[in-house]
A and B are shown apart, each in its own frame.
Chain A
């Protein structure tokens, strides 16, 4: 399979708003179930350990015509909940046996209750994540949240989820995260070989594929793209941040790249890289997942920074370790977490003399010319500034 074939497959999965891959996975064996989850993070290991398929729901993108979903939201609410409601009401999510709504913002939080009302026959859970990072306090609450999910999914699966099941699933996801880290490292090293418009699709395939298959796919992409030499350009190396929930249209990512930027790190689908290293595969599995969340996970706007000095550390680390020359803040319109966080991060970047630019998008943004112009000007200014 060539790199083009890999990307083509991922693109087909990305564009398929009927979730055929999920249906195929379910029909491959009797009694299989699938559980949807919304951004940013849920411990997919628990779903996997129940023998179920975790399915990432990132809204409807720019190909879905939202008709019914708009009737549920005012104009000043972001787009992801309305396209998600549209997916639900048009039956496209019927293949899911449940939905998880992690704590990220008030819109997704409220959507959990709406889902309980609109889809009464499905399992629906608001999944709270701790904002207190002490093992005995936040950790113990989080373990309880995970235990409840474990018991609920055990009932749905018709069998309890054992520690052994969880250890195996943790190992599967450790491997998946490792592959994603390899992919990100490869892109940072050779961004011309792994354009973000492709990396994005490869990653996004992980929303609908079983993790074992996705891990193989990620590694296959690295191998295949390395075989095909592509021209290296004098682009600006940038970090793209703020798109951790509602996703930008693929055309927007392509536009940024066409404007002269190599995106060397991003926060598009944070779930794949949320936990920064391996989770222990022995001991109490929920406690190990909790420790990883509390002490070894990424920073993002929906997570509290305990100390002022911690703000922006992750972004600065990304800039440093990826060799970035600037940061692009790309937030969805009306996204409270990203837009409230942005001024704080900008202030920190300014202190470190790291250039940045900012714009907003919606998942169905169609006009790319202004974004291309802005990104192009930003890339030019970096290049001119660096050369000076």
Chain B
């Protein structure tokens, strides 16, 4: 079932109506509620933590009753609400280079503008920065910058990179030791709450249920037609589990509802729900590598659904945890499992692993091609993507295309150029398809 909700603003023209799935509304409610929790935490005597999406130890943070902030989510929410442009320019005026990550500058700019969060509620300083250094160099500098400015207590969790394409016992041991010796004692000290490993296990049991359902949802895209968009739609689906809700019973219920809804659509042979309604005909099936642009998210999505293009799998929907190859949080081995989770996040995988994963998606989801959305801000994703493109084309024999934009800097989204590139790409897929059909016919 879908619900139409009006978009705010647009004073003179007739208000466009945006179609959303029930699950999308539920997740919006969850996210907004979290902003409220953060805004009122100090007044209610609670402490606030901040950490990153990849390597997000939500279950652990919940053991200490923290209200939980995720600065990347704050930045993208500001981007979607068209607030990030000014924040970035304010940060640049404050001395930050135009060359560096715009998530960081949006976060710092938001604080410079008076510390109001994306929903308009206050955004108080975190009491602890859990620097989960997983898959992104910038994270380290980001929290050093926040610490320098606001003197927040910071605890580093260094997660080694899978340079050899595997997790060895020394890597796991290193992360677990840091959890035991640094992270947990620091969280105890700041929160005043004693760590209870059984509480962690209970949260993890909830996580597993949500993880199962999320994987089932994402894998419905193997069906033709796909009932979901595995990129534009998936960013809503991953919202709760990648942020402050993994391990929370409401999130488990959210994924139950979502799964039911999506499987029902699949059985009915329906396509994905777009902001303009259900997609009538699936013409192209794509795999997408790289994060989306947030400032023009809906315009960007429209370029796909207007052409009948559906993203059947994406790497970005694995950035806060790769669950579709079997990993689940394990309540029987909680700390080891947290380590494996961090070590296994998408941007912590090496290049051969990333390429293997994309090729697997291309095959299992019967994709027509690969599209790379290369993000100026994000070297972790972007550096080397042109090699990914070549390798995937070589291995799958399917066409790949490359576009460039940014996460939350509106100056780096050129709609006309991207649209042009996408239209040519869809043409290319069509031609390739018809020439291959001709070959089979003769």
- 15 pairs from A and B in contact (CB 8 Å cutoff): A72-B387, A74-B386, A77-B382, A105-B379, A106-B383, A131-B133, A134-B181, A134-B182, A140-B170, A140-B174, A304-B131, A335-B99, A340-B97, A342-B95, A342-B97
Query: Interface majority SS on A: helix, strand, loop or mixed?
Result: helix
Contact A137 B178 (CB under 8 A): yes
Q: B386 touching A107 by the CB < 8 A rule?
A: no
Asked whether B73 is an interface residue with its Cβ less than 8 Å from the other chain, the reply is: no
Q: Using CB atoms, name the residue of chain A closest to B162.
A: A126
A113 touches B351 (CB 8 A): yes
Which of A103, A114, A145, A334 is close to B99, meaning CB atoms less than 8 Å apart? A334
Interface residues of B (CB under 8 A from A): 94-97, 99-101, 104, 131, 133, 136-138, 140-142, 144-145, 147-148, 151, 154, 156, 158, 160-161, 163-164, 170-171, 173-174, 177-178, 181-182, 350-355, 374, 376, 379-380, 382-387, 391, 404
Residues in chain A near residue B350, CB distance under 8 A: 112-113, 116, 126
Chain A residues whose CB sits within 8 angstroms of the CB of B144 once the complex forms: 304-305, 311, 341, 344
Cα(A77)–Cα(B387), bound, Å: 14
Assess the A116–B96 pair: CB atoms within 8 A.
no
A353 to B161, CA, bound (A): 39
Q: Which of A128-161 contact B (CB under 8 A)?
A: 128, 130-132, 134, 136-138, 140-141, 144-145
User: What distance in Å separates the Cβ of A364 from its nearest Cβ neighbour in chain B?
Assistant: 17
Question: Complex: how many Å from CA A72 to CA B382?
Answer: 11
A interface residues, tally (CB under 8 Å): 59
Q: Are A136 and B177 closer than 8 Å at their CB atoms?
A: yes
Beta-carbon contact of B137 and A74 below 8 Å:
no
Give me the 4 closest cross-chain CB pairs, A-B, nearest first: A113-B351, A126-B163, A340-B141, A141-B174
Q: Is there a chain B Cβ closer than 8 Å to A62's Cβ?
A: no
Kindly state the separation between the CA atoms of A183 and B342 in the bound complex, as whole angstroms: 44
Chain A residues within CB distance 8 Å of chain B: 71-74, 76-77, 81, 101, 103-107, 109-114, 116-118, 125-128, 130-132, 134, 136-138, 140-141, 144-145, 301-302, 304-306, 308, 311, 331, 333-337, 339-344, 346-347, 360
Q: Are B97 and A346 in contact (CB under 8 A)?
A: no
What is the CB-to-nearest-CB distance from B51 to chain A, in angstroms, rounded to a whole number?
Answer: 15
> Closest residue of chain A to B159, judged by CB?
A131
Residue of A nearest to B96 (CB): A343
> In this complex, which of B141, B145, B158, B352 has the most chain A Cβ atoms within 10 angstroms of its Cβ?
B141
A341: chain B residues at CB < 8 Å are 141, 144
Report the nearest A residue to B160, measured CB to CB: A128
Q: Are A132 and B156 in contact (CB under 8 A)?
A: yes
Q: Beyond the given A134-B182, A311-B144, A333-B99, could you list 4 further A-B residue pairs with CB under 8 A, ordered by the A residue number?
A: A110-B384, A118-B387, A334-B99, A337-B141
- Closest approach, in angstroms, between the C-beta of A193 and any C-beta of chain B? 36
Across-interface contacts of A360 in B (CB, < 8 A) = 97, 99
- Known contacts being A109-B137, A308-B148, A347-B148, is A336 close to B101, with CB within 8 Å? yes
Determine if B374 and A74 form an interchain contact, defined as CB atoms under 8 angstroms apart. yes
**B99 to A116, Cβ gap below 8 A?**
no
Distance between A148 CB and nearest chain B CB, rounded to angstroms: 8
